[in-house]
Every structure is written in C-alpha cells, then in structure tokens.
Structure 1
Amino acid sequence: MSTAVAPDPLSPARLGPVTLRNRVIKAATSEGRSPDGTVTDDLIDFHVGFARGGVGMTTVAYCCVAPEAASAPGQIVMSASALPGLKRLADAVHGAGSAISAQLGHAGVVAHKRLTGVTPVAPSRFVNPASMAYCREITRDEIRSVVDQFGAAAQVAMDAGFDAVELHFGHLYLPSSFLSPLVNRRKDEYGGGIDDRSRFVREIAQRVRDVVGNRIAVIAKLDMDDGLPGSIWIDEALRTAQLLDADATLDAIELTQGSSVFKPMYLFRGDVPVREFAKVMPPAMRMPLRVVGKWAMGSYPYEDLYMLPAARQFVPVMRQTKLILLGGITNRDHLDTGVREGFDFMAMGRALLREPGLVAAMTADPATRSRCTHNNKCMVTVFGRTHCVLDPEQRYGTVSVLETPKGVAPVPHSPLREHGAPAPTSASS
C-alpha cells in the first residue's frame, strides 16, 4: 500500500484558472485605507506589502456590490468610477509577485441607514441587536437586483485585472442571513428548509460564474456556524456547501465562523479589547460598553487552528470544490497540518497584519514563529486605518510596509494562469 504525501503548502497550486505561487492567502480584513471610497496609495502599499512578503494571493476587502451594500464608511463600491484605481492596485500586486482577489459583499443587516441613507434589508423584518437598526424584508425583485449587482461587481473586478473574486456568504451579511433560520422566516421559495434558504447564495454564485466564465477564480466565504442559538450551525452549513459543490459554480470555499451582528469574538477568539473599543465610542456609550462589552462581544479562548474541528467536517463533502482553512494559522506547522487534513489553501489574517513578510520568513526558515499575540486590539483600528498596534511602522507610518524584513528575500514567482486559459477580458453580464 502506498501512502499519499501531502503537498508542500509553500509550493505552487492551482485555484481555478490561476496558479498561485503557494497555498497561503491573505484573508480579507477591514482596511480603512479608502476614506473616499477609492483606491489610495496607502491601500496599494498595504497589499503590496503582503505580496512582497510572500503570500500566494491577497484579498481586498470589503468591496460593495452597490452603495447601499456598505457596512462602514470609506468602502470601495465596485463601479466604473473605481476601475482605474483597481487596475493600479492589481498591477502593483502582480508586479510584487502575488495574485489578487476582491471580496464582494452586500452588508444587509450589518448596514445602517445613517451610513447608506436607506433602510437596511434582510430576508425578514429584523432588528440588529448590536446597532438596534431596523431592517425591512427584501422583496423578490430586490433579490434579483442584488444577484445582478454581484454579477456586475465581478465584471468590474475582472476588467481591473483581478485574479479572483470572493463572494461574502458569511458573518450574517445579506447572503449569509438568508441561510440563518433565526433571521430568515420567509414563506416563499427563499425561506423554509435549508435547500430553499440556500437558493439566494446559489443564484449569486451562478450569476458570477456566468459573468466571469473560466477567466478568473470564484471563491465563496461561507459560515460553518455563527455562534448564535437558533441560527447557522454546521449541519445545515454542510448541506449548503454540498449544494454549491454540486452546482460547480465555485473554485473554492473559504470556511469561517461568527457574525458581525452579535458576539463577534466567536470569529476572532482570544483577548476581548473592551477598553480599547470604549475609548473610540461616543462618551455616552463608554461606560455601558465597559460594563457589558465582554458579554456583548463574547469571550472565547484562542487556540491554534481553532476552526479546524468544524472545518474538517467539510472535507468529505466536497467533490469538486477546493477548501480554504482559516482561523489560528500562524506558522509552517499549521500550514502542513492544513494540507494533511485535506485543505487546498490556508488563509491568514492577524498574523500577517503583525508581519506582512511572515510567509517569506517561513520560506527561508521553517521554524519561524509569528509575533502575533492575539490581543485583538487591531479590531479597534478599523475605525481608522487597520494595522497591528504592536508595529510602529504601520501604526505611525514612519517606514513603508513595503520593506522586506532584514535577511529575508522576497519570494519570487508571479501568479500564472492555467496554460491555455485567456487573460481577463470583458464579458457580458
């Protein structure tokens, strides 16, 4: 009998029509570097830093499919006006040797009327417990419009030269909220059992695939569970993943947990930065936040590879869709564990905020360990400019993050498209 050898996570791997130089993806994290909703030099520096630091692909977040889809100020709306800046960003990342993906999303219940000017929408009438914002029920015609918006946003990403799009089906944003029996109480074809509650995300994935064809990769970020009683849990999430896999509309699914509605620490784990959040809140909210903040945000201990126990349940379900492991991945041992467990790619977030050159460092020395302490104070920086609070070069901007750590050479190898596959061109939506 022969024993299959797990692939080297730092060797090239194919994702749809793109070959990445390794299996490490910079996970989508709020950036705060587009104050006017446009690509800035600061945003380009941010992602080029990860590219020069060795990642196979970096993910731009969060890109709104429409103005009313925003979850925070300063987010990029995928439109013709954003195209020149997005092209500059894609070209710069490619020039540094990495592929680039755009996370496409509609905030839904996470949005707020004070930001967008319109009442947020949800599968059914809903009040966001975090913001106390009322959300009205989305109509069938609006559902079809949102599906079209995802397709049009994917077209913009493709026209800008991006290698992939990531469809945000997690964290109780609009597509994810359709999967939740707690939020989705519809009586039509989009509500009821999990097969019907999965209809919306399947339609989005199908539309995006119809638009991009095989020219760029299509990924979905999918909640395994969101930590809320009566909401998304792994049994039904497995069925959603199985349906998406059978549709063959996705090249990969990135598995995640948690919500942006309540107890967000279920996603992050580790220290709860209540005091830091209180400092940036209006004065009237500071004392209540100090009193109930830990309860409202949730408190969950950090463990390495903390999403692995749930994520490994998805490995035998997939027939043709690749899987991306997220959560507590900080060193070469974790990457090796991921591929041994059957995952095709691994996504890293906070560890790369701490050290943009971590992948290059692990390539040069497999014994490298991350400096990230999981203090989670970086969560608070989303109100300004996302960065690691322990890195003065990022915090104060005194030195560009583009610089490669001393003694570590940038990882070579540019993203390659599958032999014979065409480069991104315009396609009819």
Structure 2
Amino acid sequence: MTLDLSTVDPFAPAQLGPITPRNRLIKCATFEGRTPDALVTDELIEFHRETAAGGVGISTVAYCAVAPEGRTDRHQILMVPEAADGLRRLTDAIHSEGALAAAQLGHAGPVANSISNRAKALGPGRIPAPMGMSATAKVDADDIKRVTQNFVDAARLAVDCGFDALEVHCGHNYLISSFLSPLLNHRRDGYGGSVVNRARLAREVLEAVRGAVGDEAAVWAKLNMFDGVGKPGRGRGGRPWSGFNVDQACETAQLFEADGFIDAIEPTAGSSLLNPMYLFHGKPPLAEFADAMKGPIRTGMKAVGPVFLKHYPYRDAYLLPLAAELRKSVSLPLILLGGITDRASMQTALDSGFEFVAMGRALLREPDLPLRIQEDASTVSRCVHCNLCMPTIYSETRCPIREGEVPDTFSPA
C-alpha cells in the first residue's frame, strides 16, 4: 500500500531503513572546507553541531574519501584509523543536539586533484582529470577490488565511530558516476557498454558496503539523473557524446532496488567535470571562482568559466521534474534535493511522493532555518540563491553575505 504523503508532517519522525530520524529533513553533503589536515577539526564539529541544533533530522558530513587518491584535494577527510577519534567527537556532537549523523563516502575518480593528492587520478579509461591537469589512469581489475575494499573499510570505520547512515556517492562524475556515464566510460569489458555493465561497479560497492554494516546503519545512494551534457546521438567513431540521462538513471535505480542493498536514493544531477551548475542552478559566480583559484587553474577558470559554468535559472524544488521520473520507476524511498528552502517546497516534495528532503545552501545562511519553519510555516529563507557560497569551499564554506545585504551579482532569474 502506498503511503499518502500529503498527510505527512515533514517535522514528524520518519523511518529510513533501520533508523528513525526525528524528521524528514536532511542536511545534504556539502564540502565544509574545515579539514586542512584531512582530519576532523573543532571547526567542523561546531559546523555540524550548529546545523543539528538548527533542527534537521540528519546532518551529512562531506566529503569522506575512501582512498588517498580519491579526494578532490588532500584537505578532505580521509577515512583511515587516524581519523577515528575526531569522527567520534563529531558524531557525539551531532547526537547531543538530537540529530543523527550521516557520512558521505566517495571516491572522486576523475574529479580528484592528482597534484594535491600526489597520486594518480582514476577513471574508467584515460579521460581528462582537469583538477590535476592530467589524465586518469584506467582502472583495472585489481583497482576495482581495492577500491571496493576501501569503501568497505570506510563504511565500517564510519559506523564504528557512531555514524547512523552512509551515503555512497554515485553522482557528479566521481568514480562510480564516471563508470555510469556513456560519455566517459568506453570500456569493452564487464564494466562498460550496457547500463547493466556500467552500473556493475556501483552495485558491487553497494553490496559490499551493506555486507560490512548490515542493519547497523541506513545506506543510501546519491545517484545522478543527468550529467547535464549533450544530446541524443553519436559522435565520431560511433561513441556516444551525451552523458548519463534520466532514462538510464531510472534503469540503474531499478537495478539498485532489485538488489536490495540500499534503503533510499538521493537523486542529483550535474557533473563536476563537465557541468557543475546543473546541480546548483542560479547565476554562477565567475569572478569569485577565479579569485579563489591559484596559478594556471585561475587563468584557466577566467578563460573557460563563462562556458564551463552555465546559468540555469533558479526555482524552488528545481530538480523535481527529473526526480519525478525516478519516482515513477522505483518504490524505494527517495530524498529530494535542490531548492528546498521553505515549508511549501517541503510539502511539494512530500505531495509528489518523496519521503525525505535535503537542504544545502539555505542552511549555510541560516542553520536554524528548519526550527524557524517548524515554528512558523510562513518563514521565508534569507538565502537569495546568489551562489557566492560556492567558491568559499576553498577556504571555509559559508554564506559570505551579511544580514540585510544583497550581492551585486544577485539576479532572481
């Protein structure tokens, strides 16, 4: 029997696999920029404690890299035993405010910065890895075995350190997502070609993670619906030149559901390699991004930024049209991400059949926004969707706009 979500209060407790967060609101994974030594800091703990105190049901810690070469740079948390004490302090702080803690586990693959990591970036084949100004090394059978074990070890460490949920990153053309993409994956073995083959790495990782943690934690997949790249058709040599699309995402989600290893899917979109603004929407902060870069990357951003960082008009719940296709394809719980800023957008998600909602940028401006919405359903978010928070990931992720200030770059479109 299908639950009539139109009668469900987004602020009431809800079951997600083996856990029951206090409400249906999840603070989504957004790199916090507070781990300069790849370890938890007091600043990171306070960031998530404040978010938990602000009323979300789950606060997701990002980005918990499963392998040294799998970081977008060396300043991200690396899931190794040396990180355990800090991770325990972090989950304790989140729990102390009544929320549950989730860890986003991922391998950046071609999005990794090989220069910063001092390790070769990995991909389904030799494809550009622009953050390291290099090309990826093609993953072989030994790499697949090792990376899968890296996910297992990271999952076990996270649960042992008090995390209640695990998000496995299968989006944004990180390693697993790059295998899913027909634009990036040209393999001719069992991990390339059909959707079933391209989804094989994701399915093996999800099975291994579930096997490692059992019912000790909820497990969900962050799954791309569309890379935001290309059109139907084929390029030179018969190779597809369109990225992963929603039809392939629906087929992949059905495979995940049939496997039975995850408790939910968080649909996402865009590509950190090819089209990052398709995830965020709104006006891209071109000058601010260039200013945040160093050396040749700054020069390159100034040159290609206007082409690389596209402008998609912002609207509330902007990923809903794509995610609705996924909703029709599977019965697994879904977490709607993208433009959830008020009670109306929360209710729209629930009325559309989504069990949970995820909030990101709005919480940077107002960590206590959920409590304020719960107290007064007419509360309006102070986030103006200017995206000036995006370049702050290279220092300390935050909303740089002072109270009452509207940035010069702001446009409601």
The two structures share one fold, judged by TM-score above 0.5: yes
- 1:269 CA drift (Å): 0.8
Rounded to whole Å, the distance in 1 between the matches of 2:342 and 2:12 is: 15
- 1:240 CA drift (Å): 0.4
Q: 1:280 to 1:164 in 2, by over 3 A?
A: same
Q: Which residue of 2 aligns with 1:359?
A: 370
Q: Which residue of 1 aligns with 2:306?
A: 294
Q: Which residue of 1 aligns with 2:51?
A: 50
Q: What SS does structure 1 have at the residue aligned with 2:225?
A: strand
- 1:283 CA drift (Å): 6.0
Rounded to whole Å, the distance in 1 between the matches of 2:82 and 2:106 is: 18
For 1:66-95, what per-residue CA distance to the aligned partner results, in whole angstroms no more than 9, with x for missing partners? 111111231111111111110111011101
Q: Which residue of 2 aligns with 1:249?
A: 261
Q: 1:85 to 1:288 in 2, by over 3 A?
A: closer
Q: 1:362 to 1:130 in 2, by over 3 A?
A: same
Q: What SS does structure 2 have at the residue aligned with 1:72?
A: coil
- 1:141 CA drift (Å): 1.3
Q: Which residue of 2 aligns with 1:410?
A: none
Q: What SS does structure 2 have at the residue aligned with 1:76?
A: coil
For 1:159-216, what per-residue CA distance to the aligned partner results, in whole angstroms no more than 9, with x for missing partners? 0011001000000000000000111111110011001100000000000000110111
- 1:314 CA drift (Å): 1.2
TM-score of the aligned structures, taking structure 2 as reference length: 0.91
For 1:49-79, what per-residue CA distance to the aligned partner results, in whole angstroms no more than 9, with x for missing partners? 1110000000000001011111123111111
Residues 18-417 of structure 1 mapped to structure 2, 5 A cutoff: 18-128=19-129, 132-229=133-230, 230-282=242-294, 286=298, 289-319=301-331, 321-391=332-402
Q: What SS does structure 2 have at the residue aligned with 1:14?
A: coil
Q: Is contact 1:36–1:74 with CA below 8 Å preserved after alignment?
A: yes
Q: Which residue of 2 aligns with 1:405?
A: none
- 1:32 CA drift (Å): 0.8
- 1:366 CA drift (Å): 0.5
- 1:263 CA drift (Å): 2.4
Q: 1:126 to 1:279 in 2, by over 3 A?
A: same
Q: 1:284 to 1:162 in 2, by over 3 A?
A: closer
Q: Supply the AA of the counterpart residue of 2:312.
A: Y
Q: 1:287 to 1:142 in 2, by over 3 A?
A: closer
Rounded to whole Å, the distance in 2 between the matches of 1:370 and 1:81 is: 39
Rounded to whole Å, the distance in 1 between the matches of 2:295 and 2:107 is: 30
Rounded to whole Å, the distance in 2 between the matches of 1:225 and 1:307 is: 10
- 1:131 CA drift (Å): 5.4
Q: What SS does structure 1 have at the residue aligned with 2:274?
A: coil
Q: Which moved more, 1:96-105 or 1:309-318?
A: 309-318
- 1:7 CA drift (Å): 0.9
For 1:350-377, what per-residue CA distance to the aligned partner results, in whole angstroms no more than 9, with x for missing partners? 0111100000000110100100011111
TM-score of the aligned structures, taking structure 1 as reference length: 0.88
Q: Is contact 1:130–1:262 with CA below 8 Å preserved after alignment?
A: no
Q: Supply the AA of the counterpart residue of 1:297.
A: L
Rounded to whole Å, the distance in 2 between the matches of 1:121 and 1:3 is: 42
- 1:303 CA drift (Å): 1.3
Q: Is contact 2:246–2:326 with CA below 8 Å preserved after alignment?
A: no
For 1:72-126, what per-residue CA distance to the aligned partner results, in whole angstroms no more than 9, with x for missing partners? 2311111111111101110111011100100000010011221222221101111
5+ unaligned residues in a row in structure 2: which ranges? Answer: 231-241, 404-413
Q: Supply the AA of the counterpart residue of 1:337.
A: T
Rounded to whole Å, the distance in 1 between the matches of 2:27 and 2:259 is: 26
Rounded to whole Å, the distance in 1 between the matches of 2:176 and 2:344 is: 34
Identity of paired residues, percent? 48
Q: Which residue of 2 aligns with 1:415?
A: none
- 1:289 CA drift (Å): 3.5
Rounded to whole Å, the distance in 1 between the matches of 2:300 and 2:78 is: 34
Rounded to whole Å, the distance in 2 between the matches of 1:3 and 1:139 is: 44
- 1:129 CA drift (Å): 5.2
Q: Is contact 2:29–2:63 with CA below 8 Å preserved after alignment?
A: yes
- 1:3 CA drift (Å): 10
Q: What SS does structure 2 have at the residue aligned with 1:100?
A: strand
For 1:219-252, what per-residue CA distance to the aligned partner results, in whole angstroms no more than 9, with x for missing partners? 1100000111211101101100000011110011
Q: What SS does structure 1 have at the residue aligned with 2:389?
A: helix
Count of aligned pairs between the two proteins: 390
- 1:282 CA drift (Å): 3.3
Q: Which residue of 2 aligns with 1:425?
A: none
Rounded to whole Å, the distance in 2 between the matches of 1:154 and 1:391 is: 38
Q: Is contact 1:169–1:223 with CA below 8 Å preserved after alignment?
A: yes
Q: 1:289 to 1:200 in 2, by over 3 A?
A: closer
Relative contact order, higher structure (CA 8 A, sep 6+)? 1
Q: Is contact 1:112–1:133 with CA below 8 Å preserved after alignment?
A: no
Q: Which moved more, 1:125-134 or 1:330-339?
A: 125-134
5+ unaligned residues in a row in structure 1: which ranges? Answer: 393-429
Q: Supply the AA of the counterpart residue of 1:166.
A: E
Q: Is contact 2:68–2:119 with CA below 8 Å preserved after alignment?
A: no
